[in-house]
C-alpha cells in the first residue's frame, strides 16, 4: 500500500492517525492493554492541543473511528469539541482497542526490565510476533474485562496479543470501514492507541515485519496521510525514528520534537518516566518528561482548562479496573434518586403486578433526555437549529442524569441517538461518562434536531411577545400547526453548514412539521433496532435456559454474559422534538400536547412490550400516560414552572440551577406572564393568554386554536376535564 513518493499525484482521500492523550497508566509507565483507564489532566490538555493543531492546519473530517476504551473516546470527543465537529459520525470499534498486554497488564515497564531484562521487555513492546505471557482468565483484571458488557456481542477478548495479532483485527477494520470510506473520498480521523496505530502504519507505509520495531507514536501527535485514488500514500515526509523506514505521513508538530519524544518512549524501560510533547498550558513542540507515578488511592478533582472556562473531571486511580466518578455528582444524583424512590416506591410494585396480570413484560426501554441548560436557555432566546453550547450548569445537569441512571441500575445501553446539535450531543457524552459507558454506540441525525423556529431563532422571547403579542407567540411556541415566520438569508447562512449537505433544511417548522420529519427515523432506524435487540435477547435467554437444563455453560458465559437483559435505547434531543415524540408514544390529544413542559436533562422513561407498545405506568404525570420522569418530583415541577414563565422574563444567570423553591417563586411572581385565573375573563382577553389556570387550582388548559382567525372567546367550561393538568 506504500506510495511511490510521487507528490504530483492528486489527493483523493485523507486519513489522520492520532494516539489518545496521556492516560493514568502512561503517567505510571505501566502496560495498559485493554484496561479502561482514563486521561490525566495533561492528557486532556494534549487532546485539546491536538484539536487545535488539526484546526490550524485547516483539516476537516467526514468520519471518526475510535476504540471502545475511554481514553481514546474522550480524546476523540475533546478533539471534535475543539475543531467544532462534534456532529461527525463517531464509530466505536473494539477491534481498534490497544494490543492486549497479557499478564504484563498493570505492571511497570522499568520494574519488568529489572526482572526480565531490557531486551526481553522491548521484545514484548516492539517486535512483530512476540506476545507477552497470556493473562489468567481468573486474574481480577482479566476477569473484569471478560465480564464487561461492552464485549458481549461478537467481541473476542484475547488473553494476550502480539503486534501481528493486533494487525489481524485492525486489517479487518480497514477492509470493512476505513477502505470504503476512503475509496469514497472521505477524510477519516482514527483516534486509537500506540500499537493499534503502529499496525495501521504498517499497512499504510508498507513496513516490513522486522522493521515494525522502529514505529513509535507519541500521545496526541497527529500524523496525516494523503492518499491517491488507489489509496496509496502521496509523498514522503521523512523516516520512522532513526531507521530508514520511509514515513509517508506528515506530523503536525516539529519533527525534531517528535523524534525526542520517540527516543524518550524507548527509554521508559531504563528510566521510570512519563513523556509528553504538550506543556501543561497546551503549548506544543516542547518535550516534557517527569518521574512516573501512580496515585496511592482513588481520587477525583474538577479542573478548569482553557480560556473558555470549560471544566473537566480528572480521575486519579491506583492500578484497578474501575475509575471513580465525581463524588459531588454522585451524591446529588443519589439524593434525588432517593427522593424519587420514596414517592414512587408503591407505584413501581403495582405497575409490575399490573403488567404481569395482563401477560405483558418489559421487552425494551426507551429513555428520552432533553439537553442540559444551554447558553440560549440562559439568555431566554428561541434556539431552534442554532448550534449553541451547554453552560456549566447544563454540563452538571447532564452528568447528574447519567449518575442517576447508573444508580437506578442501567448497566448497558444499546445505542444513543442524538440530534446534530452540540447541546444534545454533549449532553449524551456527559451522561455516558457518568454511566461509565463511553463505549456505547452513538448516532447523530438531523431528524432529531429541535424544531426550526425560523425568524424567531436567536431572538429573546419577551421581545417577540412585544412585537407579535403573547397569544401569537404562545401559538408558535406551544401550538401544533402554527408555523413561525421563515428565517432570513443571514440566519440561514449562520445556521446551515456542511453537516446538512443533502438535507431538506426547513426555514420554519410547526410542531406537526417536526413530528413529520421525525417519523422516518422511528420507522427506519429506531424501531427496527429495537426489534432486533429484543429478538437477540430472547435468543440469548432461550440459549441460557437450554444450557442450564443441559448442565453446560451457555455461549458467552465465559465473558460474563448470562443474557436476558432488557435492551435500553436513549434519545438526546431538544424540547419540541421530544414533545412530538412523547405525544406519539402516549397518544396525546392536540389540546394536551401544549401542556408538556420538558425539564432539562431529566430522564423520561418509557417501558415497551415486544410489539413496541408503551406500557402504562402509574408514575406518569399528566398529560403523560406511559412515560415517567426519573427524578425528584418537586425539583421537576419547579423547573417546569420556570420554563412556562419564560415569555415574561429576561435572561437569568447561568451559573446555578434553580431549586424547586426558587422556581416556584418565579412561577408565583410571573404567573400573569403565563396564565390567568378563569375568574377574570376581561384580564384574560387583555393579556391574550392561550393557557388558562383554574382559580384555586394547579389545573391548566390550552384554549387557543392554531388559526387566529378561528379564535373565539374561550368558554372554559367546554374544555374536557381529561385534557387538564
CB-side neighbour CA atoms (13 Å) of 721? 0
272 alpha-carbon distance from chain centroid: 36
20 flagged as catalytic:
yes
Does 109 carry a binding-site annotation?
Answer: yes
Does 196 carry a binding-site annotation?
Answer: no
Q: Is the Cβ–Cβ distance between 475 and 704 less than 8 Å?
A: yes
How many C-beta neighbours within 10 Å does residue 673 have?
Answer: 20
Instruction: State which H helix or E strand residue 277 sits in.
Output: strand 273-278
- What are the backbone angles phi and psi of residue 466, rounded to the nearest 5°? -60, -40
20, 100, 193, 444: which is the annotated catalytic residue?
A: 20
What is the Cα–Cα distance from 463 to 390, expressed in whole angstroms? 23
What is the Cα–Cα distance from 449 to 418, expressed in whole angstroms? 8
Does 26 carry a binding-site annotation?
Answer: yes
Location of C-alpha cell 448550534: 387
**SS3 label, residue 45:** helix
How many C-beta neighbours within 10 Å does residue 404 have?
Answer: 28
Beta-sheet pairing, 604-608 with 364-370: antiparallel
What is the Cα–Cα distance from 205 to 3, expressed in whole angstroms? 7
139 flagged as catalytic:
no
What is the Cα–Cα distance from 273 to 289, expressed in whole angstroms? 6
Comparing CA positions, the residue from 155, 154, 145 lying closest to residue 102 is: 145
Location of C-alpha cell 422516518: 520
C-alpha cell at 124: 514484548
Does 9 carry a binding-site annotation?
Answer: no
Q: Is the Cβ–Cβ distance between 602 and 636 less than 8 Å?
A: yes
41, 46, 85, 98: which is the annotated catalytic residue?
A: 98
Does 25 carry a binding-site annotation?
Answer: yes
Would you give the DSSP letter of residue 398? H
Comparing CA positions, the residue from 605, 599, 52, 111 lying closest to residue 366 is: 605
Does 125 carry a binding-site annotation?
Answer: yes
Does 627 carry a binding-site annotation?
Answer: no
Instruction: State which H helix or E strand residue 287 sits in.
Output: strand 284-291
Peptide bond into 623 cis (omega under 30): yes
Residues 6+ apart with CB under 8 A from 339: 632, 633, 634
Q: Is the Cβ–Cβ distance between 305 and 279 less than 8 Å?
A: no
Q: Which residues pair with 64 in a beta bridge?
A: 90, 189
Does 19 carry a binding-site annotation?
Answer: yes
Does 371 carry a binding-site annotation?
Answer: no
Comparing CA positions, the residue from 570, 553, 571 lying closest to residue 562 is: 553
What is the Cα–Cα distance from 47 to 45, expressed in whole angstroms? 5
250 alpha-carbon distance from chain centroid: 30
What is the Cα–Cα distance from 398 to 378, expressed in whole angstroms? 16
Does 377 carry a binding-site annotation?
Answer: no
Sign, CA torsion 422/381/453/496: negative
Does 21 carry a binding-site annotation?
Answer: yes
Binding-site annotation: residue ranges for substrate: 19-26, 32-33, 71, 109, 125-126, 194-195
What residues are labeled active site?
A: 20, 98
Binding-site annotation: residue ranges: 19-26, 32-33, 71, 109, 125-126, 194-195
Amino acid at each position: 500500500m506504500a506510495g511511490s513518493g510521487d507528490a504530483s499525484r492528486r489527493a483523493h482521500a485523507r486519513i489522520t492517525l492520532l494516539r489518545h492523550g496521556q492516560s493514568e497508566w502512561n503517567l505510571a509507565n505501566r502496560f495498559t492493554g485493554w484496561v479502561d483507564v482514563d486521561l490525566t489532566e495533561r492528557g486532556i490538555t494534549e487532546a485539546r492541543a491536538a484539536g487545535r493543531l488539526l484546526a490550524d492546519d485547516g483539516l476537516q473530517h467526514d468520519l471518526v473511528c475510535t476504540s471502545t476504551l475511554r481514553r481514546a473516546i474522550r480524546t476523540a470527543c475533546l478533539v471534535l469539541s475543539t475543531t467544532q465537529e462534534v456532529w461527525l459520525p463517531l464509530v466505536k470499534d473494539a477491534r481498534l482497542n490497544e494490543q492486549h498486554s497479557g499478564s504484563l497488564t498493570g505492571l511497570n515497564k522499568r520494574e519488568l526490565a529489572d526482572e526480565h531484562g531490557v531486551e526481553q521487555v522491548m521484545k514484548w513492546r516492539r517486535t512483530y510476533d512476540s506476545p507477552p505471557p497470556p493473562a489468567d482468565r481468573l486474574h481480577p483484571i482479566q476477569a473484569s474485562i471478560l465480564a464487561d458488557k461492552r464485549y458481549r456481542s461478537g467481541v473476542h477478548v484475547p488473553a494476550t496479543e502480539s503486534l501481528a495479532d493486533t494487525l489481524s483485527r485492525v486489517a479487518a477494520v480497514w477492509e470493512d470501514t476505513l477502505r470504503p470510506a476512503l475509496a469514497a473520498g472521505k477524510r477519516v480521523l482514527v483516534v486509537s492507541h500506540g500499537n493499534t496505530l503502529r499496525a495501521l502504519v504498517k499497512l499504510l507505509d508498507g513496513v516490513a515485519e522486522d522493521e515494525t520495531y522502529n514505529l513509535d507514536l507519541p500521545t496526541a501527535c497527529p500524523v496525516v496521510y494523503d492518499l491517491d485514488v488507489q489509496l496509496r500514500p502521496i509523498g514522503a515526509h521523512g523516516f520512522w525514528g532513526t531507521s530508514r523506514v520511509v514515513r509517508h505521513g506528515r506530523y503536525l508538530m516539529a519533527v525534531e520534537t517528535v523524534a525526542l519524544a520517540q527516543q524518550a518512549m524507548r527509554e521508559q524501560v531504563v528510566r521510570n518516566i512519563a513523556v509528553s510533547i504538550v506543556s501543561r498550558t497546551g503549548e506544543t513542540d516542547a518535550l516534557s518528561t517527569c518521574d512516573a507515578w501512580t496515585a496511592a488511592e482513588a481520587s477525583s478533582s474538577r479542573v478548569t482548562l482553557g480560556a473558555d472556562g470549560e471544566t473537566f473531571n480528572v480521575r486519579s486511580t491506583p492500578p484497578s479496573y474501575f475509575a471513580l466518578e465525581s463524588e459531588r455528582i454522585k451524591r446529588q444524583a443519589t439524593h434525588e434518586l432517593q427522593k424519587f424512590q420514596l414517592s414512587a416506591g408503591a407505584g413501581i410494585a403495582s405497575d409490575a403486578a399490573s403488567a404481569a396480570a395482563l401477560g405483558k413484560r418489559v421487552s425494551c426501554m426507551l429513555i428520552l433526555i432533553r439537553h442540559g441548560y444551554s447558553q440560549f436557555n440562559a439568555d431566554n432566546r428561541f434556539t431552534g437549529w442554532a448550534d449553541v453550547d451547554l453552560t456549566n450548569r447544563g454540563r452538571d445537569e447532564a452528568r447528574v442524569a447519567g449518575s442517576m441512571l447508573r444508580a437506578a441500575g442501567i448497566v448497558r445501553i444499546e445505542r444513543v441517538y442524538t440530534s446534530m446539535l452540540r447541546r444534545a450531543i454533549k449532553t449524551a457524552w456527559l451522561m455516558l461518562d457518568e454511566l461509565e459507558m463511553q463505549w456505547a454506540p452513538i448516532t447523530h441525525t438531523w431528524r432529531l434536531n429541535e424544531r426550526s423556529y425560523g425568524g424567531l431563532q436567536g431572538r429573546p422571547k419577551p421581545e417577540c411577545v412585544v412585537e407579535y403579542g403573547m397569544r401569537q407567540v404562545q401559538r408558535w411556541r406551544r401550538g401544533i400547526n402554527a408555523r413561525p415566520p421563515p428565517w432570513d438569508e443571514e440566519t440561514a447562512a449562520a445556521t446551515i453548514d456542511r453537516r446538512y449537505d443533502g438535507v431538506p433544511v426547513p426555514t420554519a417548522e410547526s410542531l406537526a412539521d417536526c413530528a413529520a420529519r421525525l417519523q422516518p427515523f422511528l420507522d427506519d432506524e429506531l424501531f427496527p433496532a429495537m426489534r432486533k435487540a429484543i429478538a437477540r435477547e430472547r435468543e440469548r435467554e432461550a440459549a441460557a435456559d437450554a444450557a442450564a437444563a443441559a448442565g453446560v455453560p451457555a455461549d458467552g458465559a465465559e465473558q460474563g454474559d448470562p443474557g436476558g437483559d432488557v435492551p435500553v435505547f436513549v434519545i438526546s434531543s431538544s424540547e419540541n422534538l421530544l414533545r412530538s415524540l412523547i405525544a406519539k408514544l402516549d397518544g396525546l390529544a392536540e389540546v394536551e400536547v401544549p401542556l408538556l413542559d420538558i425539564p432539562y436533562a431529566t430522564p423520561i422513561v418509557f417501558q415497551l412490550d415486544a410489539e413496541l407498545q408503551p406500557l402504562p405506568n402509574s408514575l406518569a404525570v399528566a398529560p403523560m400516560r406511559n412515560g415517567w420522569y426519573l427524578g425528584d418530583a418537586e425539583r421537576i415541577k419547579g423547573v417546569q414552572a420556570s420554563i412556562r414563565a419564560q415569555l415574561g422574563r429576561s435572561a437569568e444567570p447561568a451559573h446555578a440551577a434553580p431549586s424547586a423553591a426558587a422556581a416556584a417563586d418565579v412561577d408565583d411572581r410571573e404567573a400573569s406572564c403565563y396564565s390567568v385565573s378563569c375568574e377574570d375573563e376581561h384580564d384574560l382577553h387583555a393579556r391574550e393568554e392561550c393557557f388558562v389556570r383554574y382559580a384555586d387550582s394547579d389545573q391548566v388548559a390550552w384554549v387557543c386554536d392554531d388559526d387566529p382567525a378561528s379564535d373565539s372567546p374561550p368558554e372554559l367550561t367546554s374544555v374536557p376535564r381529561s385534557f387538564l393538568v
